[in-house]
Chains A and B, each alone.
Chain A
Amino acid sequence: MRVAYFPGCSLQGSAREFDESLRAVARRIGLDLIEVPDWNCCGASSGHAVDHLLSVALPARILGLAEKTGAQDLLVPCSACYNRLVTARQELREDQTLKAEVCELIEMELRLTVRVRNIVEVLKEAMEGKDFPAIETPFVHKVACYYGCLLVRPHKIVKFDRPEDPQVMDELMQAIGAEPVDWAFKVECCGAGMTLARTELVAKLCGRILDDAEARGAEVMIAACPMCHANLDMRRPDIEALAGRKFAIPIMYITQALGVALGIDASRLGLDRHMVPVVFKRAEQPGADEPRA
């Protein structure tokens, strides 16, 4: 399968292990990634907070460049970018006046035929294919699949999985040998873009998420968004300071867990780049990791 690939700014910086593990897994499963040439930032939450036209035009340039690759699908691993791209694409498809204005602004023609896909849906499709390689090292761990808020929203446009209790990531984890826990914070927001301006709010929201994941007996949390990962991993000291207690649970990207299961070397998956070391605290006695009530 050949897909256009838009990594986004985070995957070039603080979330580089998402990019590394994604590329390593893609090579192994025969997913041909064509990076969108000369892509720009999608504008993220600041773009749409400030100006509507800007929030559509920045993603539109990316969509225009992706069309030129000739691929049918555009893979966008960052949930925040994904949300901006699907939303902009939908608005442009529905509003011809806006489309004309944006095309003039970006000096590009837009056909809007390329489908915008998130990482979970692309991986699921690949796994269902018959050429998918065998699982070498089953990922035998209790996992809390954390979808985050934007992966499955807005449901009307995204039309992917369930907006409240999504399942696809859980199914993927089961397929590689993991045991997903049933928990309450699958789609709760981590605080995303407030990480600099209102760190204490991010710490509060992330503390609740980590607390529930640990209470349900998860050994590791699986994320599919660089914002979620940054807040839950990099902000761990802030979270712990506010909560007044330690959280040991590591956060892995879905591509890293899949990579481990496919037998890809840990160094190529960037597992050593996390702030919270990826070590699994297995319960020593059976029953000790039973969920709280």
Chain B
Amino acid sequence: MYYYAVTNFKYFALAGFYLLFTLSLCFFLDANWREKIFGQRKTQNLSERFSSGKFKWINWLTIFTTIFLLMGISIAAYIVQVNNINLLLNETKLIHNFSIGNVLFFMRRVLTVSLATFFVMLTCRVLGNWFCDLLGLNLKNTAALVVEVATGIMLVTTLLFVLGLIIMLKWFAVASIFSIILVLRWKKTLYFLKALIRPITVPQNLNWIGVIGISALLIITAINYNQLLRPIPTGYDALTLYVNLPSLIGTHGSLVQGYQPHNWSLFMSLGYVLFNMTEVALCLSSLGGIFTLFAMYYVGKWLNININYLLLGLAAFYLTPSIVHQSSKELKVDLGLLFIQLSIIITFIHWYFSIHRSNNESIETSVTNPSFGFLQKLHHIKLFSYVRQSHIKYLIVMGMLTGYSVGIKITSYFVALALLAGIWLIRKGKFGYMAIFFFSFSLSLFIRADAISGLRNYHLSAELVKYVCLGLSLILLTIAFLKERELFTKKIRSSIIYGSVALLSFLPWLGKSYLETNSTDIMVLINGKQIGPVITAESLDRNWKKVKDNK
């Protein structure tokens, strides 16, 4: 593929422009370059850089403008190229009379979709921020952004689920609730709006490696965004399931019968419910990928990765063809799922730090900028005060997000089991870790996870292995209990809280399936009611015989 892509490459002018853009960014952001070119003194610290005036202009709005310009230039390059080829092949131009009117039309389209998407994400952030405040999560900067947005998306989806149950997934109902959320937290709303024009701190040691990463990220985001602005999705999975389902939800104004749990599709349905625009649904799906970058950025910083390597690493990940495909060509739920999974890991990191924090340190926090007094009163409810003062607040959020992620894709239960193993590994709990591993394998065989992919039939020892693994798990847990009694109780408690909240968070989907199928079979509950007419060869034959007999 790469070979053919290179040998058939036709966009030399565009590539030249991208190169020039990258060089300009290097010059603009990397002080060493300016020094080398103009002999300008290397700026020493951030405050000096900010006072130089240039960096005041680096904010989210200018980043958006840059992406927009890159989009425009890429499209212009495409039109020129495709017209040339068409003239060569068919002696006709593909796009005629390109004018300023087309540019304005394009601008209007981009701005409409962007504003609609921003409105949804702003609501999610405000709601998530309120919830994290209420629980007293001690999050800052990127971690706050990631976890608050993830929590916000989860809460918004829950809201949509409830509205869907009562057939009220209508634009006026959703828009009213969203507006109330924004008004109730108007101070925060304003704060997040102002963040668009607040200068972004440019890392002091940024160099050309990091700038190449930034440039690649901006270019691919622009290309992806161009691909998203379309009234119908493309790709088999999107057209049959992942965008089809949000469209059906939008049309019905309620949850639809059948399907596996589909939290992310419900979230995507906002594009149809609120704006009746496929583009917005696609953008909401694709945003999972963008927020994944923020989540990876946080984890990378936590791993002490040098900022330049980190930015290059993010670009390397985001430009991976499979990721590009899901970010622009075929919108599914996996990037949204990845974002939620990384948010769970970030919350796990904070939970770990909170349990290792000195007992003397107060962990009580207060609501920041309460816009209305009654929100402050809500904050003082005993239950919330209790949760704020203990470490379980992180476990609760982890559990909620885990349940939510399993509600996006069932395979996300791997994350729950992996983190449980992590909980048991704390303070060298290797027996606990191995116990959870064997339990995970055994559980997967008990619930026939391998049957979903059709692999169960090939493993003749599966029935035996599941019991052996369960036995090993119990033996290892007993050893863990004997070796570390005090920690054992704490780990059991944490595991139960985490697991129970995750299960509770996932429960509504099981309830929906139960109401539709009346079955208690776990696989039926997970898979939901069969979609479309239920047909077998036998039912067709029975019907055929009946019709023939009637004749």
Does A pair with B?
no
